[in-house]
Structure 1
Amino acid sequence: MHIVIMGCGRVGSSLARRLDSLGHSVAVIDQNAEAFRRLGSDFRGDQVKGPGFDRETLVAAGIEKAEAFAAVSSGDNSNIISARVAREIFGVRRVVARIYDPKRAEVYERLGIPTVATVPWTADRLFSELMATQSEQVWRDPSGAIALARIAFDEAWVGRKLREFEEQTGLRAAFLNRFGQAVLPTESTVLQHGDALYALVAEERYTPCMDAAIRPPDSRS
């Protein structure tokens, strides 16, 4: 998939190289052309000079075909504005912004834009957020029979009860990450935009359960 990254500092360049190595199409935006040196000579993606919140710059970086966008420059305002432009103007589904001010970060989490703070959050968290359209196994028991995975689910599940999701997919919900906080699900828990769902699944049922999760819910339920 095509991913646009705004900011080519240590985090942005690390994220870009990792995504590029996995075969994704990547475009990196930075106002300082010298910053692109961090990408290395083997980087295959596009390098676009300009402000990341400028529409023409974003279009040059392929924002219109992008499935994910990361704003990781050194300025909160630039990251916030570019993330909102990517989400609200160009309709990019997966948007994540690096925010230094924790109060601002909380506000944008509530608006459905995952945020990444400076010290504890790294390129690993950004990578995880951008790849949230794909389920990712995060733990397996020693016998290999049970796995814990971050689950990618169809947007049509938003507003539906988690209990219905479990019944139709065969997954067992372990916890949600909502607005940066871990939440233990209950019988009445409803899936919301921005939820990161972690669930347990038997290894022999892993593939069919993941396939079921990315399908819309059965309207008869």
Structure 2
Amino acid sequence: MHIVIMGCGRVGSGLALALEKRGHSVAVIDQNVDAFRRLGPEFGGRTVKGVGFDRAVLTQAGIEQADAFAAVSSGDNSNILSARVVREIYGVDNVVARIYDPGRAAVYERLGIPTVATVKWTTDQVLRRLLPEGSEPVWRDPTGAVRLIQVHANPAWVGHTVGQMADAARCQLPFLQRMGSALVPERSTHFQDGDLVYAALTRDRVAEVESVLEAEPPRD
């Protein structure tokens, strides 16, 4: 794949190096040529001075052959404008923009432009670690109706299967986090001490599912 990245800050340079390491072709756009130093001498991709909504700059970066585009500069307006230009003029479907204002992020998600709201993501991460109940979702669809939440299961569930937990909560438990790694469980997978459980559900069932899994398992 050829991937164009606008913004060579810590996020952009990290993305570029990670993608190149995985064998992808990468071009990085930034207004400040000094920012390209973050890529290091081993970076083999293209570096282009300019902004991501300038068609000449995008052409130089190979946007006409691009499979994906990421706008991760420090400016919300630049990121969104670049994402729209790339999607609407060049027809690149796989586009994502980093947005600092979560209100804007929700609007652009509804317009079909995937966004990563940096401040909201950080806030949600902290909330999920501070609040054992009623925590912010790990993911939600643009309407907020469907979400993925991290549930703090009662230790009494240890030894029970994921299938038993899912049946009790009446929802899908698509993955666990075990010892720092994600695990896609089978129904027969046993819940272990220290596991973090993730539930996929509708917004109206959050309190119910949390209540079921945070309580002791029902007795037969």
TM range (shorter): 0.5 to 0.7
* Percent identical residues: 71
Letter in 1 for 2:20: D
Aligned to 1:178: 141
1:1-221 equivalence runs, <5 A: 1-119=1-119, 121=121, 177-179=140-142, 181=144, 183=146
Aligned to 1:128: none
Conserved? CA contact 2:4–2:62, under 8 Å: yes
CA drift at 1:178: 2.2
In structure 2, what is the Cα distance between the partners aligned to 1:111 and 1:66?
A: 21
In structure 2, what is the Cα distance between the partners aligned to 1:115 and 1:49?
A: 24
In structure 2, what is the Cα distance between the partners aligned to 1:25 and 1:66?
A: 9
Structure 2 alignment gaps of length 5 or more: 123-138, 148-173, 176-183, 187-220
Change (3 A) 1:15 1:182: farther
TM-score by length of 1: 0.57
Change (3 A) 1:180 1:2: farther
TM-score by length of 2: 0.57
Conserved? CA contact 1:109–1:180, under 8 Å: no
Letter in 1 for 2:27: A
Conserved? CA contact 2:31–2:51, under 8 Å: yes
In structure 2, what is the Cα distance between the partners aligned to 1:31 and 1:66?
A: 20
3-state SS in 2 of match to 1:109: helix
Letter in 1 for 2:142: F
Runs of 4+ in 1 over 3 A off after TM superposition: 119-122, 198-202
Count how many residue pairs are aligned between Structure 1 and Structure 2: 139
In structure 2, what is the Cα distance between the partners aligned to 1:98 and 1:182?
A: 22
Letter in 2 for 1:41: P
In structure 1, what is the Cα distance between the partners aligned to 2:99 and 2:43?
A: 26
Bigger radius of gyration: 2
Letter in 2 for 1:96: V
Q: CA RMSD in A?
A: 2.7
Structure 1 alignment gaps of length 5 or more: 123-175, 185-197, 203-221
Query: Residue deviations 1:116-140, cap 9 Å, x none?
Result: 1224649xxxxxxxxxxxxxxxxxx
